[in-house]
Structures are given as C-alpha cells and as structure tokens.
Amino acid sequence: MADQPRLFGRTTDDLTAATLELGESNLAAWTMIGRWRNWPNGTLALIGPQGAGKTHMACAWAQGVQAAVWDGATRALDAFEAAGRRLVIDDADRFSDEPHLALLLDTVRTEGGALLLTAQEPPRTWSVALRDLRSRLAAVAVERVGEPDDALLSRVLIRLCKARFIKLSDKAATYLIAHMERSFAAAHAVAEAIDRVHVRGSRPISVPIAARALQSLGLDPPDPGGSEEAPDLSPEDA
C-alpha cells in the first residue's frame, strides 16, 4: 500500500444527503449504505472510478449516523472508538499502516460497529504485504458505484453551476453532456471552466459559452453555430 494516506482535507459542508443526486449508477450503493447495521463483518467497501461520487456518499452517510471521517491526524482506531464505532476511511487503499488496518477490521468484526471504506478497486485487489490483512480485505463486502447516466450527470452539472450562481440553459446542458466525459469529476471540471469563461449576468449560459468552456479544458467540441449573446450589463457597467 502507499506510504502515506490521502488526508481528508476538503470541506464536507456540501457533501450531504440533501445535495446527493441519485440515479441508476449509484442508487443500489446508497441503498446498501443505508443498511449499515447489516454489513457483513461490519465493513463495506464503496468502490468506483475517480469522481463517481464515493466521497460524497460516504460523507453523507457519516453525517447521517454521526460517524467520523478519518483525517489522518489520529489513529484510525481511536477515531473509530471516539465516534461511537462508526468510521469512514476515504481512499482506504492508500492506508499505510497495514497492521493497524488489520486490527481495525478485526475490532469491527468482533466487537461491533460500522466501517465504510472508499477506493477505486475492490479491497481484495489492493497491494498489501501483510498476509493477514490480505485475507481480511478479501472478506470485505463490496458495493460498486458506476459513472452517471446522462440524466443524472445533467442534474449534477446544473447543481454545480447553481452553486456558483450560474444558470445553465437546457440547450447548453444538453450540449455539454453530449461532448464531455461522463463522470462526476468531469462535471466539476466543466462547472469550473464555465465559471472562468462566462461573463457575469442574469442570462443563462448559452451553447457557445458552453463550447468555450469545453475548449478551455482541451476538448474539441463541434461548432455549436450562432454567436455568443451580448452580456447583460448592470447600470454601473453601461
């Protein structure tokens, strides 16, 4: 496993159940997370590609059940005990202390609690040197999150833009979904690109602006035709 875990440094304020968009790609996983009292051996691994929303789902669960999200500042087992035996370890395949992870898995299995791990690949495939840990990881239940379908991705993109006080037109949303990578990670990148290239105003983002945003990310979307609308100007700008 990696020498150092990824410390959980981002804010979790917006990673709640209220902001979680559900669709065919993640509904089964969210349902399984909700059955946390019945996880085999008390542990569940939430796996899927980068940007698929695993961290969002894990943090939403943590907030709902008052679990801790391990930040690397303390021993994971101490954080687990302090939070009433409920813990999230994000990017758990990068957890560096193999004996400690084995002890944590044993504690959850024998003494109760709930441990939610996130990673891109199933625990049985993680590169670990400790034989005892390999056997424990092989027994961890797995739930997979897939890449979002078009409808889910569109809702996520609209929400991300709304959080930036940007209104996305229906045509622009359709254009973006058709020509961007289908992942939550890409949706975040596209929303940030739109925020960089658009002119502040009250009008919804047009298709030409959407095309510019994709081009700024190194993509080569087809010419949407037409021209970019003139920006709305406040009296101070006029």
Per-residue model confidence (pLDDT) at position 203: 81
Band of pLDDT at residue 237, cut at 50, 70 and 90: very low
CA-based radius of gyration for the chain? 21
Say yes or no to pLDDT of 32 above 70: yes
Band of pLDDT at residue 60, cut at 50, 70 and 90: very high
Locus of tokens 């006080």: 165
H/E element, 193: helix 184-197
Band of pLDDT at residue 202, cut at 50, 70 and 90: low
Measuring CA to CA, how many Å separate 154 from each of 78, 164, 175, 200, 222?
40, 16, 10, 22, 19
% of the chain surpassing 90 pLDDT:
60
- Is CATH 3.50.50.60 correct for 17-144? no
**Could you give the residue range(s) of every CATH 1.10.8 domain in the chain?**
150-216
Band of pLDDT at residue 40, cut at 50, 70 and 90: very high
Instruction: Tell me the mean pLDDT in the region 1-23.
Output: 58
Say yes or no to pLDDT of 4 above 60: no
Instruction: Tell me the mean pLDDT in the region 121-150.
Output: 94
CB atoms within 10 A of CB 52: 24
Question: Please, are residues 46 and 25 in contact by the beta-carbon 8 Å criterion?
Answer: no
CATH of domain 150-216: 1.10.8
Mean pLDDT of the chain, nearest integer: 86
Per-residue model confidence (pLDDT) at position 13: 52
**Could you give the residue range(s) of every CATH 3.40.50.300 domain in the chain?**
17-144
Per-residue model confidence (pLDDT) at position 178: 94
Instruction: Tell me the mean pLDDT in the region 142-163.
Output: 89
